[in-house]
Amino acid sequence: TRIELPKYSLEMLEKGPKAKFTVCVEGNIGSGKSTLLEHFSKFDDVEVLQEPVEKWRDVRGCNLLDLMYKDPCRWAHTFQAYVQMTMLELHLQSTQAPVKLIERSLYSARYCFVENLYKGGKMSSAEYSVYCEWYKMITQHLNVNIDLIVYLKTDPKKLYKRIKERSRSEEQAIPFQYLEALHNLHEGWLTEKKYPLPAPVLVLDANDNLSTMYKKFEEHTSDILCQKL
Ligand code: TTP
């Protein structure tokens, strides 16, 4: 089997896709990023790019997400290398609508997930260094511009419950401490500014039930879409 790669022009690689108002939705596992994306996909002027989780679950028949959860010491680096590639595809993807809404970014993979795996001893120094060098090369030379980050801030206890309820098979063994560590890293990056922030951050409390969350999305429509509609 051959993997068909999208065709990028040199210009697109250097300058990025056609200028758009690019919004990334961030937040811990189960915080409701897909719900926000689905809500905004109803606007004609918004193009939504969902996170490629399905690709991570099936790389030429391999479920990398599952391998990573079952044996992180062996697979975390391979998995995160693939996440980085697929996230870069989203950043570089040209869209037609004035607003491009992306689930996650290269940045949360780097400053939350990879940092957590390295600090937790699941990635060796050598693997971490290779990953970081790739990250540096990409972010220095390619246009991965973001205009706004929407952070769905959620209590990890709530997330633990939601993850059990949605029962994505690979995630069933995630311990509470893993979610707590990821929560602290999201906070460190997005509210305490411990790592470089590529754009301003709009924080939304995402602990509420679905109907309240939909109301919040409505209230913040102009903030999120920068009154482009
Ligand atoms: P999320 O990106 O958090 O997506 P989600 O489906 O949980 O989002 P939501 O419920 O808010 O709509 O994570 C998807 C899975 O991939 C999850 O098991 C965590 C894992 N993951 C990593 O292990 N490393 C990464 O760098 C990323 C981005 C995700």
Residue 205 above 90 pLDDT?
yes
Band of pLDDT at residue 229, cut at 50, 70 and 90: very low
- Position 80 scores a pLDDT of 98
Q: Which ipTM score applies to this complex?
A: 0.95
Mutate to test the pocket of ligand 1, among 51, 79, 186 (most ligand atoms within 8 A of CB): 51
> What's the pTM?
0.90
Contacts of 221 (CB under 8 A, 6+ apart): 229
Q: What is the DSSP letter of 208?
A: S
Give the neighbor-by-neighbor strand order of the sheet with 148-153.
46-49, 99-103, 21-26, 148-153, 201-205
In this prediction, residues 53-67 reach a mean pLDDT of 96
Which residue's C-alpha comes closest to atom 1 of ligand 1?
29
